[in-house]
Structure 1
Amino acid sequence: MKQQPRDWQCGAHRAHFEEPDTLVAEFNGLITLDEVKETVTLYHQTTTDHGQYYLIADIGRSQLEAAGRRYMSEKASSDWFHAIIYVGADIVMQTFVKAIALALLFTGKSTFETVFVKTQDEARAWVAQHRLRLKSKAG
């Protein structure tokens, strides 16, 4: 597998990959359509480089433009992710994210986990528990 740079930045938004299978993205301020396009490219490239992964998206200090929401729901695929864990989303952002997650179901696998937590530590704990569940199912 080709390895991407471990750190990514687009405007005020940053991401880094944590072995073995987690991309942590932090968004601050307005997320424009161009930034969403770059982010979707990053998400797809991460799948190419590492296979299916967990996405921890810290969105508590951000807003997503309507065009960006539409683009994300049309261009991203649920097959890229084990799950997406959103950190710090208020009720409005949770509503938008649930709509995107529903659209992602039509692009790939039939089940897709979307989780909301308050902190990145809670997100990492959820990922660790989910890995254990997957491992126990695999036998």
Structure 2
Amino acid sequence: MNIRREWKFGTHSAHFEQPDILWVKIEGETTLRDAISLSELYGELGNQSPFFVVTNLTEATSVETEAREHVSKNLNPTWFLGSIYIGAGFVQKAVAKSLAFVHAMTGKLTFDMHFVATEQEARELIARERAQRSTKVA
């Protein structure tokens, strides 16, 4: 039996879908407190097993500078199999790519980042990623 785990922090929410997908819905502004809660959740899950994180940004508005800095300093890229953003705008893509660039320059980037328009596209992308991983292992 699969038990659905759910979290709520501020105006944002997340739920884990077996075997390895964390779905995050960002609504409104992301504060430092939100970033701390998200980072702790990523660590809790990622220390058990790496996972895909799919972040829906269609209703996101802004990210506090302190929140962005916290995420940059406290995420461990080994927690993730991949990161997918749904509905990211130009600024959101720039922020995500800049964080990835920092991790890449330090040699810590271990996962791919993608931008899609819909949940269905995210699911298809994850299916392709899983298929690629299984052929590399075989």
TM-score with structure 1 setting the length: 0.90
Q: How many residues align?
A: 134
Identity level (%)? 29
Query: How far apart are the structure 2 equivalents of 1:107 and 1:79?
Result: 11
Summarize the alignment of residues 79-94 of structure 1 with structure 2, pairs less than 5 Å apart.
79-94=78-93
Summarize the alignment of residues 8-47 of structure 1 with structure 2, pairs less than 5 Å apart.
8-47=7-46
TM-score with structure 2 setting the length: 0.91
Equivalent residue of 2:39, what SS? helix
Query: How far apart are the structure 2 equivalents of 1:5 and 1:64?
Result: 28
Query: How far apart are the structure 1 equivalents of 2:51 and 2:107?
Result: 16
- Paired letter, 1:70: E
- Paired letter, 2:81: H
Shift of 1:64: 1.2
Match of 1:60 among 58, 61, 72: 58
Q: What is the root-mean-square deviation in Å for CA atoms of aligned residues?
A: 1.6
Unpaired runs of 5+ in structure 1? Answer: none
Query: How far apart are the structure 2 equivalents of 1:103 and 1:9?
Result: 28
Instruction: Tell me the equivalent position of 1:108.
Output: 108
- Paired letter, 2:72: S
Equivalent residue of 1:108, what SS? coil
Query: How far apart are the structure 2 equivalents of 1:10 and 1:107?
Result: 31
* CA deviation profile, 1:77-123 (whole Å, cap 9, x unmatched): 111101100110001110001111222333735x4201000011111
Q: Which runs of 4+ in 1 moved over 6 A?
A: none
